[in-house]
Structure 1
Amino acid sequence: MNRVKNFNAGPAALPLPALERARDEFLDFAKSGMCVMEHSHRGKEYEAVHDEAIALLRELLGVPDTYDVLFVQGGASQLFAQLPMNLVEKGRSADYVVTGAWGEKALSEAKAATAMLGASVRVAGTTGTGEGKEKSYVRAATAKDLQLAPDAAYVHVTSNETIHGVEYDVTPARPFPDTGKVPLVADMSSDFLWKPLDVSRFGVIYAGAQKNIGPSGVVVLIVRKDLVAAGRKDIPKIFQLRTPAENKSLYNTPPTFGIYMVRNVLAWLKGLGGLPAMEKRNRDKAAKLYGVIDANASFYRCPVEKESRSVMNVVFRLPSEADEERFVKEAKAQGMVGLKGHRSVGGIRVSAYNAVEPAWIDALCEFMQAFAKRG
């Protein structure tokens, strides 16, 4: 077996122990004579996996009993529309803080969803500069960037902008917005479980699994029970948050294998020492990468302000696009893949999610040093 060093942005690297556990159990799960994918989602074998995954999430994050922990489908992109459909009543509005491309997409979908229901959304703050292809984001928002409405249904943020490499709550200078009594809603798809988190600060947390905790097809949704109860009832039942909440995420057939893999990843994370240990692991990886970038500032350039530099997605540019193409090609020849920046911004992107091994980062840093010397 010759596995590469996987720096893809999503679907992304999964921990080898989680994959090996799936391999060992694949044909005969829990001595049932079947793969977990073949089991009924109503059966006791799968139900044990489902319950364990939810329990692990509650344990790792310290989720209060006043929150539901749900598994839903459709990706974070579906939640972009589904959340405002549930939480913004007719005649009301929600606030959106935009610090990158995924915030833009969340805003666009929310506008469409609320317009159909007689509600609306507004931009309460943005850190974008320029227009069109020249538009860029280099930092998370601060209090001075925001004009929050005290009567908003909620305030939405994207905790980590995968494309632009901008992240909240990495440094004390860029905390999550203080929204007072207004619920804070966060898309945490690309930095979920990278470090400890005070769940009680949020009304809703949602995260597509495929970047940091599992395969594509599963979304983790942590939502305050009072918000679920107050959600709209004049939308299709399948889109109401109360539907998965009242049915333990089993109203219809869930992505059983995806949830099984999330369970495996969560068990691995717990075995490493939980979120405090994971934060140290991730900060050490990021410090090494940014250390090489800053030490070779005449060759590598990170466009993101230091206070907002993402721990999960490290982005940087080289002197020319030709240099960047050569960088990606030579790195791939050394078994390092997924380093090309998003097509909308170019450059290089190192996605250093939880499952990315420190040894991979060491190898990449060594390659970067040598590449910069050759010029």
Structure 2
Amino acid sequence: MSTRAYNFCAGPAALPEAVLRRAQAELLDWRGIGLSVMEMSHRSDEFVGVASKAEQDLRDLLAIPANYKVLFLQGGASQQFAQIPLNLLPEGGTADYIDTGIWSKKAIEEARRYGTVNVAASAKSCDYFRIPRQEEWTLSPDAAYVHYTPNETIGGLEYDWIPDTGDVPLVADMSSTILSRPLDVSRFGLIYAGAQKNIGPSGLVVVIVREDLLGRARSSCPTMLDYKVAADNGSMYNTPPTLGWYLAGLIFEWLKEQGGLEAMGQVNRRKQQKLYEFIDASSLYSNPIATADRSWMNIPFVLADAGLDKAFLAGASARQLLNLQGHRSVGGMRASLYNAVSEAAVDALIAYMAEFEKENG
């Protein structure tokens, strides 16, 4: 019988138990060759096969068009904050950024090291509780690209729409929303996503980039950060994070077994609806985000009496409902409902929250 807890961590996040068990079974002896995936050469036929299948499964899940490259890189999403302008922002150029929270602000700060950043819109004026509609944006006529963060993991804001930037490439940090439901990749110039939410373990970042955007890196861009170099070498210019790539491949297989992203999206819709409906009906808990902009994946909430926070977390921990404390920058609570967080986990959380409210309301 499983003794695994319900894990609501924002990242590194819950991984599907079936994937962990398969990795455990293959750890010492991968497919009878007498060693593990992390011990074999990344250039061996065996690992190249693992890598190729992982890429194809991801292409299948997201219906990635043929004119996009899929890169499996190191450094996490935060390294992309620099890698994107180094590749896409020419010397003396301008890039548009939309500020909707902590992660978009970090991207803005880093991009300013490499060129002019126009903050075309910001949610700061409304305390980051709503996302500015596109008609409120002031885009540059000559922007090299437009960058936005579809889901703010910490603040719990999420776009329920894809911006229309015309011929200007749209760049998206999808670390905490990718693979949670179907996505039209063709609307984007570049998508990047840290793995430790819905893709796999930390240490890996996936970049999906349209081919016409390759080969634009400025001369000062380090070789290791040049997307074209990565694409030309099958993400193996140097030794890649082989264990993370292998585990991501297992998760892509698992997602296919669940029915793909259409089925996953239906489950995720139910999960977030249940929790928001409970919070909205409560007199103890509340969520400050504008209803249209609420995140599916990361649901922050506060208790009417912050003095109850420690007791709430202690009770949750005793029931193996883990990692519910909000980010240190915003406080309160946060439940992250990534793909590997089951509907049963959400039901257990709601049951506990109701019990706690009855005792402390």
Task: Compute the TM-score of the two structures, normalised by the length of structure 2.
Answer: 0.98
2:355 & 2:328 partners in 1: Cα distance?
Answer: 26
2:130 & 2:343 partners in 1: Cα distance?
Answer: 26
Give the corresponding residue for 1:61. 62
Deviation at 1:370, TM superposition (A): 1.4
Give the corresponding residue for 1:172. none
1:51 & 1:224 partners in 2: Cα distance?
Answer: 19
TM-superposition CA deviations, 1:47-69 (whole Å, max 9, x none): 11100110011100110111000
TM-superposition CA deviations, 1:77-128 (whole Å, max 9, x none): 100011001101112100000101000001001112x1xxxx3212111111
Among 131, 134, 155, the alignment partner of 1:164 is 155
3-state DSSP class of the match of 2:42?
Answer: coil
Contact 1:233 / 1:240 at 8 angstroms: preserved in 2?
Answer: no
Contact 1:11 / 1:211 at 8 angstroms: preserved in 2?
Answer: yes
Structure 2 residue identity aligned to 1:18: V
Q: Does 1:126 align with 2:111?
A: no
TM-superposition CA deviations, 1:291-343 (whole Å, max 9, x none): 110111x2111010000000000111101222122111101100100100000
Contact 1:92 / 1:152 at 8 angstroms: preserved in 2?
Answer: yes
Q: Does 1:361 align with 2:346?
A: yes
Deviation at 1:141, TM superposition (A): 2.5
Deviation at 1:211, TM superposition (A): 1.2
Map residues 250-269 of structure 1 onto 2, 5 A cutoff: 250-269=236-255
2:225 & 2:262 partners in 1: Cα distance?
Answer: 35
Among 306, 324, 333, the alignment partner of 2:318 is 333
Structure 1 residue identity aligned to 2:118: R
Unaligned runs of 5+ in 1: 131-135, 170-174
1:322 & 1:27 partners in 2: Cα distance?
Answer: 48
Number of residue pairs matched by the alignment: 359
Among 312, 321, 346, the alignment partner of 2:306 is 321
Contact 1:126 / 1:145 at 8 angstroms: preserved in 2?
Answer: no
1:129 & 1:333 partners in 2: Cα distance?
Answer: 39
Map residues 1-375 of structure 1 onto 2, 5 A cutoff: 1-112=2-113, 114=114, 119-129=115-125, 136-169=127-160, 175-296=161-282, 298-375=283-360
Contact 2:93 / 2:144 at 8 angstroms: preserved in 1?
Answer: yes
Deviation at 1:231, TM superposition (A): 3.1
1:76 & 1:50 partners in 2: Cα distance?
Answer: 20
Q: What's the % identity of the aligned pairs? A: 52
1:199 & 1:141 partners in 2: Cα distance?
Answer: 22
3-state DSSP class of the match of 2:57?
Answer: helix
1:66 & 1:139 partners in 2: Cα distance?
Answer: 34
Contact 2:118 / 2:140 at 8 angstroms: preserved in 1?
Answer: no
1:259 & 1:32 partners in 2: Cα distance?
Answer: 19
Deviation at 1:40, TM superposition (A): 0.2
Contact 1:81 / 1:109 at 8 angstroms: preserved in 2?
Answer: yes
Contact 2:128 / 2:155 at 8 angstroms: preserved in 1?
Answer: yes
2:135 & 2:217 partners in 1: Cα distance?
Answer: 31
Contact 1:142 / 1:177 at 8 angstroms: preserved in 2?
Answer: no
Deviation at 1:371, TM superposition (A): 1.2
Contact 1:8 / 1:339 at 8 angstroms: preserved in 2?
Answer: yes
Deviation at 1:185, TM superposition (A): 0.1
Task: Compute the TM-score of the two structures, normalised by the length of structure 1.
Answer: 0.94
Contact 1:84 / 1:110 at 8 angstroms: preserved in 2?
Answer: yes
Unaligned runs of 5+ in 2: none
1:367 & 1:259 partners in 2: Cα distance?
Answer: 36
1:210 & 1:313 partners in 2: Cα distance?
Answer: 14
What is the aligned-residue RMSD (CA, Å)? 1.0
Contact 1:9 / 1:351 at 8 angstroms: preserved in 2?
Answer: yes
Contact 2:91 / 2:218 at 8 angstroms: preserved in 1?
Answer: no
Structure 1 residue identity aligned to 2:184: D
3-state DSSP class of the match of 1:14?
Answer: coil
3-state DSSP class of the match of 2:96?
Answer: strand
Contact 1:150 / 1:182 at 8 angstroms: preserved in 2?
Answer: no
